[in-house]
């Protein structure tokens, strides 16, 4: 058997964070600037299925019988084998990823997707996207408990996703290339802390905060239309509006504001935090010709990593 390789991109939330918890829409898109990759090679007879997580420096053995402490990668492989009604094969899967872990960029979903894609092809039963998505979602439950389904859907289908809690997830198309920069503050961004703070703020001032959340939902709906048109100028304006609303929810930070000011000062059409806030990543919408200058400004202002990607 020749080596078989499969990849999966990261993902990032563009609009709707925090408000999505309260029934408003959110938009997430694939981030191909970072990827997970799985390479399947023949193993030794009788050795079984070996998974090498190169970035973690760890090796896992997939055994016939499930164990309570099996890591997610082993659970994923066993789910696939059960679905395909296949015995444990003598194969080795080596996983590499350039997606930072616990950064809101979909690392868990991407590595699972790459693993299952490559392994199903190696077993002669490649999965369609619908089946793959369902299996990755099951593994996402191990990472997140009650995941929204956004990460796995964006990563598997590699298309923008429009999500409203309690409704089927929708994918949609990009009308014309949209140029994005993703900058990392280098600060940890625990989602549960920021979400809890917003909830307490809403409990204290329900009328004011509900109005803010509804306005964020309106921005997200407008952003979907702008993406479908490929209207980067409007997306920049909406990013600025969304960021102003997120400030009212107290989830911005000095580090984020410094980077946002640097991006917009260098020619970005608009910038906003992405995800929980207080740290983590921001996104900046740019014209292609302005991307190098904005990237340099973000790095000079303290971004620890800046990714350039184009939505198509």
Residue 136, domain CATH: 3.30.230.10
Q: Are residues 193 and 159 in the same domain?
A: no
Given 171, 191, 219, which residue is the final one in a domain? 171
Q: Are residues 72 and 158 in the same domain?
A: yes
* Rounded to 5°, angle at Cα 244 from 220 and 311: 40
Which candidate in 151, 184, 197, 231 is catalytic?
A: 151
pTM, 2 dp: 0.86
Instruction: Give the chain's radius of gyration (CA, Å).
Output: 20
Q: Are residues 187 and 152 in the same domain?
A: no
Q: Are residues 117 and 27 in the same domain?
A: yes
pLDDT along the chain (312 residues), means of 10: 93 94 93 95 92 93 82 94 95 94 85 97 96 94 79 92 90 94 89 88 97 98 96 97 98 96 98 92 97 98 95 90
Q: Are residues 85 and 100 in the same domain?
A: yes
Q: Are residues 183 and 256 in the same domain?
A: yes
Q: Are residues 82 and 182 in the same domain?
A: no
Domain with 103 in it: 4-171
Given 171, 194, 214, which residue is the final one in a domain? 171
User: Which whole-number Å values give the CA distances from 206 to 58, 96, 115, 209, 213, in the listed order?
Assistant: 47, 45, 44, 5, 10
Count the domains in the chain.
2
Query: What is the number of other CB atoms lying within 10 angstroms of the CB of residue 193?
Result: 14
Residue 255 CA, chain-centre distance (Å), reads 21
Counting every residue, how long is the chain?
312
CATH number for position 305:
3.30.70.890
Given 116, 147, 171, which residue is the final one in a domain? 171
249, 198 Cβ separation under 8 angstroms: yes
> What's the CA gap between 121 and 260, in Å, rounded?
43
| Residue pointed to by tokens 């709707």 | 16
- Residue 104: the pLDDT is 80
- Residue 100: the pLDDT is 83
Assess whether 90 carries a catalytic annotation.
no
Q: Are residues 182 and 167 in the same domain?
A: no
Q: Are residues 154 and 240 in the same domain?
A: no
Q: Are residues 211 and 118 in the same domain?
A: no
Q: Are residues 253 and 303 in the same domain?
A: yes
Q: What are phi and psi of 51, to 5 degrees?
A: -115, 120
- Residue 190: the pLDDT is 74
User: Alpha helices, DSSP H only, in the chain?
Assistant: 72-84, 107-122, 129-144, 150-157, 191-204, 206-229, 232-248, 254-265, 291-300
Q: Are residues 63 and 28 in the same domain?
A: yes
């Amino acid at each position: 058997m020749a080596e078989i390789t499969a990849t999966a991109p990261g993902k990032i939330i563009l609009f709707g964070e925090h408000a999505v918890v309260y029934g408003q829409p959110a938009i997430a898109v694939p981030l191909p600037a970072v990827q997970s990759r799985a390479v399947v090679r023949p193993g030794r007879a009788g050795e079984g299925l070996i998974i090498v997580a190169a970035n973690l420096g760890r090796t896992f053995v997939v055994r016939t019988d499930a164990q309570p402490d099996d890591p997610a990668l082993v659970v994923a492989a066993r789910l696939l084998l059960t679905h395909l009604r296949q015995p444990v094969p003598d194969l080795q899967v080596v996983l590499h990823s350039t997606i930072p872990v616990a950064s809101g960029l979909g690392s868990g979903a991407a590595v699972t997707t790459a693993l299952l894609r490559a392994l199903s092809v190696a077993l002669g039963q490649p999965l369609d996207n619908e089946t793959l998505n369902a299996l990755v979602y099951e593994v996402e439950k191990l990472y997140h408990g009650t995941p929204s389904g956004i990460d796995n859907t964006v990563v598997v289908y590699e298309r923008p996703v429009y999500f409203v809690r309690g409704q089927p997830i929708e994918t949609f198309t990009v009308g014309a290339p949209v140029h994005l920069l993703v900058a990392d503050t280098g600060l940890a961004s625990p989602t549960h802390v920021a979400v809890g703070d917003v909830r307490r703020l809403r409990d204290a001032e329900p009328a004011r905060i509900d109005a803010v959340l509804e306005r964020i939902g309106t921005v997200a709906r407008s952003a979907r239309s702008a993406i479908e048109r490929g209207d980067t100028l409007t997306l920049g304006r909406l990013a600025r509006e969304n960021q102003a609303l997120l400030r009212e929810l107290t989830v911005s930070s000095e580090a984020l504001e410094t980077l946002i000011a640097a991006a917009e000062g260098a020619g970005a059409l608009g910038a906003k935090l992405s995800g929980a806030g207080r740290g983590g990543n921001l996104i900046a919408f740019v014209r292609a010709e302005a991307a190098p200058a904005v990237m340099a400004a973000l790095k000079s202002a303290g971004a620890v990593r800046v990714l350039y990607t184009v939505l198509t």
